[in-house]
Structure 1
């Protein structure tokens, strides 16, 4: 049967009527629930392993369970929520190996993004990057605010790469890593090292030095053995899955 026959056979009111699954109200409720949960994950209110009960969330957001269920499915696709049949949902827990793999992934892609930024950056983006770095300096004595300013600094570099596909991949991976970032920017010494790295990154990108920009970003990221060990030391073990509770899991890394 060709498309012309199908069009004739389908009543116009059936073709045009919105279905419940695509109704604007349902989509808005799903989006609102998803954004609220994302915000709680980003702020550390929801941490790996925490249960997410559909009925309680529906009551909290004053919606039916359907948009809650849809929001949880979308978060599961992002790697932030784990859905288990007959057991419900929880904030996803990674193994230690998975967390290291994510950090390695970011540590390969972000220097590439920085290289592209050095190649393509313009005067406006250099000004934005310098402003973002200045904000980091002003927030140096407030770890929580520094963390937010640091994210904004990296976001400017992603934009300067003019490669949204690469930027979105990095942001998705960093969001999963962020759930495990417990006090990693809390010490004054760490913040000072971070600021020194930022200065080197800004200088390399502004001068268009692609190689130096990549190297500066590689130095900035905690993917090496020492950096990963320091990162891991601050993460509560109950954030990891059962395999990671085995001390021999660390020996395989």
Structure 2
């Protein structure tokens, strides 16, 4: 593990397990924890200042999304990042989120659209402040408002599941220069299409947005040499 000045600080409403998942996934995606690195529960718990229980739960969650590999009688290790699998998931997510945006354009009432616009507008200050960490949380809030606005629980659940599987890669994109500003512009076009009730345009713009996120995540991984050139 890399050196750390402070103990784990979960965000408001975030469990210790979720915070460990967030921190470990960021270190894996950035290459700070390289493929094949053994992940010792006791050492990680000491490093983050938490018990072994949230660490064990976090490693299980990371194994589900493919960032950690568990080996019988040997423990947990950082997995190799599969570029092909990551791209497949992003392509699938682009279709699901496109559907969410299209349904949201058809089904959101005036109050829900106004709330979505408020969420979007709040992102501008974060862009101006270059607050990447806060913008990541803002980004999640905006997308989940659109999932909710689709009015289809099955679609929402499927979208959240695939989103969780690439969450670390989505978060990493904002470390690229100008990405948060570009994301804010892309969000604005999507929100405007939803507000107009233009389902076809909202679907197209959201699909394009997620594919752009995919390209940004891939560029980040190449920059960090997590995947080969």
1:43-62 counterparts in 2 under 5 A?
44-45=26-27, 47=29, 49=35, 51-57=38-44, 60-62=49-51
2:27 counterpart of 1:38: no
2:94 counterpart of 1:127: no
2:86 counterpart of 1:99: yes
Instruction: Pick the aligned partner of 1:204 from 167, 170, 193.
Output: 193
Q: CA deviation at 1:143?
A: 4.4
SS for the counterpart of 1:94 is coil
Which of the pair has more CA radius of gyration?
1
SS for the counterpart of 1:140 is helix
SS for the counterpart of 1:89 is strand
Q: For 1:32 and 1:200, how far apart are their aligned partners in 2?
A: 34
Q: CA deviation at 1:211?
A: 0.7
Conserved? CA contact 2:40–2:76, under 8 Å: yes
Q: CA deviation at 1:182?
A: 6.8
Match of 1:11 in 2: none
Match of 2:4 in 1: none
Q: For 2:195 and 2:100, how far apart are their aligned partners in 1?
A: 14
| CA root-mean-square deviation | 3.1
Conserved? CA contact 2:28–2:67, under 8 Å: no
Match of 1:16 in 2: none
Match of 1:81 in 2: 68
| Cα distance change, pair 205–75 in 1 and its aligned pair in 2 (3 A) | same
Q: For 1:97 and 1:181, how far apart are their aligned partners in 2?
A: 16
2:189 counterpart of 1:233: no
Q: CA deviation at 1:230?
A: 4.6
Q: For 2:59 and 2:174, how far apart are their aligned partners in 1?
A: 29
1:1-253 counterparts in 2 under 5 A?
34-41=17-24, 44-45=26-27, 47=29, 49=35, 51-57=38-44, 60-63=49-52, 68-69=55-56, 72-141=59-128, 142-144=130-132, 145-181=134-170, 184-186=173-175, 189-222=178-211, 228-236=214-222, 239-240=226-227, 245=228
Conserved? CA contact 1:182–1:235, under 8 Å: no
Aligned residues: 206
Q: CA deviation at 1:235?
A: 0.9
| Cα distance change, pair 137–69 in 1 and its aligned pair in 2 (3 A) | closer
Conserved? CA contact 2:100–2:155, under 8 Å: yes
Structure 1: any 5+ residue segments left out of the alignment? 1-30, 248-253
| Cα distance change, pair 167–93 in 1 and its aligned pair in 2 (3 A) | farther
Conserved? CA contact 1:119–1:210, under 8 Å: yes
Q: CA deviation at 1:130?
A: 0.7
Conserved? CA contact 1:34–1:75, under 8 Å: no
Q: CA deviation at 1:103?
A: 1.0
Q: Deviations over 1:122-181 (max 9, x none)?
A: 222212201110111111121413232222111110111122332232233223323234
Q: CA deviation at 1:239?
A: 3.4
